[in-house]
Amino acid sequence: MVAKTVMVYSRQVIMIGHLILKMQSMLMLTEANGMFSVEMDYQRTKAVLGSDVVQSAVGTARQREQAIEEQRYAVRRKHDRGAK
């Protein structure tokens, strides 16, 4: 009786492991499809607006993000110095 229960439990554990692997692979496929979609949108935008315009816009956005991050860092550093 105990051996049969152990066998059933072992099968269930294996099945759960397979389901987890299947879910992880589905999640990876979903993420890959999402990234492919973003890349295709980027390529379409470049085709319509031109590579120069898109590269300039991306560069401007990156500079803005970097400036915001530097401001956040400066505020954190200021607060950290005040705490000491």
Same structural domain, 23 and 12: yes
Provide the whole-model pTM.
0.54
Same structural domain, 29 and 7: yes
Measured CA to CA in angstroms, residue 41 lies from 29, 34, 56, 64 at distances of: 18, 11, 17, 22
Domain coverage including residue 69: 50-84
8 Å CB contact between 42 and 54 = yes
Same structural domain, 61 and 78: yes
pLDDT in tens, 40-72: 999 999 999 999 999 999 999 999 999 999 999
pLDDT in tens, 68-83: 999 998 888 877 776 5
